[in-house]
Structure 1
């Protein structure tokens, strides 16, 4: 009411300039905060450049993750089940080869050691190879857990699956294929390994014929050249350990080791 009285007492000339004055005051009141902010020190927490802007994206939009290393929105609890770091693949553990020489001098241990080594050359990770290796270890340690004897006097033995393991001087693999017949040895796939002085690889190619040695692809090399090539592909320690184990053994075990190393290198190369 007092304001109305003051306005009514003003001269007409002052009343005409009143809207202009009010407009100027209103503009100054609006511009004052902006000017004050402009005069603030950049280090002030109230300065616009120091303010923290929080942007919350809708939960359904996960096309752009909050962090490039997160596969999805961090607000989604599912990311905790599958963190951003990839799972490291478990290293492949190679199957250890059978003993290079038979642990005991019994004929059964000797034959099973040869069978275990042949099966390892053919396929080291097959069930057949594991079964034969288990039989070799059990028999050479004086146990009959893997191979059950059905009358040792008759020289007849069976595998646990019922297949014949030995009948007389003949040996058979668990899959029924012959392993030894007379003086010849065979792979589980039926290919001949050794007969007389000749050796062959599981693919049927010759490994040794007369004085000549061959790689699994049929390339003629010297004995030293075959060892050099195989040991350049395989780990040097494994190659050296296998050769050292048969260094003073009969020639049969040495040449069987050369076939093993050459075929393993061929499979690895």
Structure 2
């Protein structure tokens, strides 16, 4: 009698494993669907709180890592500016030492409010980081002059409402988007094509971080001016994220 019982127990175990595998597969498919919906919602600038809850339920922490685009809620202007600089440096894939220096000052400034109010800052190599409202990279290149932004390689990143890629090609002019080769397209088509190249996981990571820090239901209780400033930051991060994904795909080909 012992042998048949052992066989029966083995069969029960195999059935349990089979059912578990089916459940895991179903959860994985559902996770993929949730993330696809979330990408669309974030691109459309919709609130992501409920979508984040769904992603956590079906995906856990498997797709979470430290944000590459993250400016803490209610951050100082210095924190915001350094976060932009760090992202522009990553996009151009500048020397790792330069990126680390910008990231280091960004982290310190964003975590220390007093540091975030300073009008002058220097890099570890002695170069000027900030003078007045203007910013400079550790290699001496201008990062921000007035409201204009620049890549570490000297190319203009943003001038007025227009965005450019690191190769100088127009990325966005008004509401019209372009790929890094200069061909006009839409944001949706640009992202769809780019995400096929860099992979959905990388796209999820970048797009999810666009407005995680700057969207909050308490915005309803804030003044119109504060809400407008927050919306401008959201638009800024969304545009920068699209440029990052598109440029990364272009570099990967």
Q: TM-score, normalised by structure 1?
A: 0.58
Shift of 1:250: 1.5
Aligned equivalents of 1:244 and 1:176: distance in 2?
A: 32
Aligned match of 2:158: 194
| Greater RCO, CA 8 A, separation 6+ | 2
Aligned match of 1:70: none
Aligned equivalents of 2:237 and 2:87: distance in 1?
A: 10
Aligned match of 1:262: 246
Aligned match of 1:120: 90
Aligned match of 2:204: 240
Residue 100 of structure 2, aligned match among 111, 118, 130: 130
Aligned match of 1:218: 182
**Based on CA coordinates, which of the two structures has the bigger radius of gyration?**
1
- Residues 94 and 152, structure 2, Cα contact 8 Å, conserved in 1: no
- Residues 98 and 116, structure 1, Cα contact 8 Å, conserved in 2: no
Shift of 1:99: 3.1
Name segments (4+ residues, structure 1) moved above 6 Å: none
SS of match in other structure, 1:118: helix
SS of match in other structure, 1:250: helix
Residue 170 of structure 1, aligned match among 116, 122, 134: 134
- Residues 97 and 117, structure 1, Cα contact 8 Å, conserved in 2: no
Aligned equivalents of 1:136 and 1:116: distance in 2?
A: 8
- Residues 180 and 186, structure 1, Cα contact 8 Å, conserved in 2: yes
- Residues 212 and 222, structure 1, Cα contact 8 Å, conserved in 2: yes
SS of match in other structure, 1:261: helix
Residue 122 of structure 2, aligned match among 134, 158, 178: 158
Pair 1:217–1:254, CA change in 2 (3 A): same
SS of match in other structure, 1:180: strand
Aligned equivalents of 1:204 and 1:100: distance in 2?
A: 22
Pair 1:174–1:97, CA change in 2 (3 A): farther
Shift of 1:97: 8.0
Pair 1:99–1:158, CA change in 2 (3 A): same
Superposed CA deviations along residues 18-72 of structure 1, whole A, max 9, x for unmatched, are xxxxxxxxxxxxxxxxxxxxxxxxxxxxxxxxxxxxxxxxxxxxxxxxxxxxxxx
Superposed CA deviations along residues 165-198 of structure 1, whole A, max 9, x for unmatched, are 0000000000111100000000011110011111
Q: TM-score, normalised by structure 2?
A: 0.61
- Segments of 5+ residues of structure 1 without an aligned counterpart are 1-95
Aligned match of 2:229: none
Aligned match of 2:236: 252
The answer to whether the aligner puts 1:228 opposite 2:192 as a matched pair is yes
Superposed CA deviations along residues 80-119 of structure 1, whole A, max 9, x for unmatched, are xxxxxxxxxxxxxxxx885312135111111110100010
The answer to whether the aligner puts 1:109 opposite 2:73 as a matched pair is no
Aligned match of 1:100: 69
Q: CA RMSD, aligned part only?
A: 2.2
